[in-house]
Amino acid sequence: MKENDAVAIETPRRQPTLDEVAERAGVSRSAASRVINNAPHVSRAKREAVRRAIDDLGYVPNATARALATQQVGAVVLAISGDDPGMFADPFFAEVVVGVNSVLEETELELMLSLATSTRGQARLEQLLRTRQADGVMLMSLHGDDPLATLADQASVPVVFGGRPLTFEPRYYVDADNRGGARLATEHLVKSGRRKIATITGGLDEGAGMARLQGFQDALAVAGLDNSLVEHGDFREDVGSRAMSRLLERAPDLDGVFIASDQMAMGALRVLGQAGRSVPGDIAVVGFNDIAGARHTAPPLTTVNQPIQALGREMARMLLALMAGEQPSPLILPTRLVVRESA
């Protein structure tokens, strides 16, 4: 060959990705992965679409990823730290489940629900994780030094937290801006001319309850107002009723109250009506969550909206990312004030 003869160098062809296979097949990334790894719970139509996409693109699975994926059993767990079956009637948890399911229904994964505060519930969840009967776990509503946190730390499957526990900050979590939302609510009361402002807290052994109390205290401290008028609650309607009665006894001249959940605010509104206090004329009321029922109280409830279904959706998406070998960043969802007639 002469010195000046050109030598053609062939550029190596880029290997197609799993995302490209999924897009070509018109399925989710998780569904494509399960087809490639011969996992169960995938419809025949999806299997055929993925296999055609693999042939069309010339996709070659990564051997290591395939070895891991074949261990999947096709189910994930939403574990809630509570042993009261009635909590599933709470609109908050119901909307979280709707959000989680809206993401998982695009995959072939089954959703299992677990109440895991009792010793029996914890043992059942521990057995489930130890024997790898699930591919991942979402944990919600942890209290104080909740043993579920230890179970999560020892789990051999991916774990995503819904909300941040009080005692530590997990690596993977989705939360709402509880402190910022409570600050917005309390600032609204101050701007409307209220000066004797109280709060009914959520459970202070939960991250959300403590964050909402801190937001209340932040706003009143900046306004130069007393922020010590506090009654403790736990997010339930009957507890809100009792706490409101105690506040009226402690501070008859009360003119504003921030309540850490709409459920408790509903109970408080009932007590105020029975006591002959007009809302918002005598006492302005602001809640938190913006559940559907907040629009139908008398008067309609001013409240802090947190995107509850989005919380569930993002938890599920984060778990799927972890199961696919990715390392997503923690996520804090914004909150906003929704002004209605109660304040």
Instruction: Quick: pLDDT tens for 146-162.
Output: 667 667 666 678 889 99
DSSP 60-99: ---HHHHHHHTT--SEEEEEES---GGGGGSHHHHHHHHH
* Model pLDDT, residue 118: 62
Q: Matching CATH topology for 18-69 and 75-176+308-334?
A: no
Please give the angle made by the CA atoms of 31, 98 and 119, to the nearest 5 degrees: 95
CATH topology of domain 75-176+308-334: Rossmann fold (3.40.50)
Higher-confidence position of 46 and 68:
46
Please give the angle made by the CA atoms of 281, 283 and 285, to the nearest 5 degrees: 110
* Model pLDDT, residue 246: 96
List, for residues 271-320, the tens digit of each pLDDT value.
999 999 999 999 999 999 999 999 999 999 999 999 999 999 999 999 99
| Contact in structure between 56 and 24 (CB atoms under 8 Å) | yes
CATH architecture of the region 18-69: Orthogonal Bundle (1.10)
Whole-angstrom distance, CA of residue 93 vs CA of residue 101: 12
Weakest-pLDDT range from 22-26, 163-167, 256-260:
163-167
> Where does residue 272 rank: exposed (0-12), middle (13-18), buried (19+ CB within 10 A)?
buried
Domain spans of the chain?
18-69, 75-176+308-334, 178-305
Strand residue runs (E) in the chain: 75-80, 110-115, 137-140, 159-162, 173-176, 197-200, 230-231, 256-259, 284-289, 302-305, 331-333, 336-338
Residue 28 neighbours by CB distance under 10 Å? 19
Instruction: Look at residues 256, 247, 252, 244 and name the one whose alpha carbon lies nearest to residue 220.
Output: 256
Tell me the CATH number for domain 178-305.
3.40.50.2300
Rounded to 10 degrees, the C-alpha dihedral 128/129/131/132 comes to 110
Position 9 pLDDT exceeds 50: no
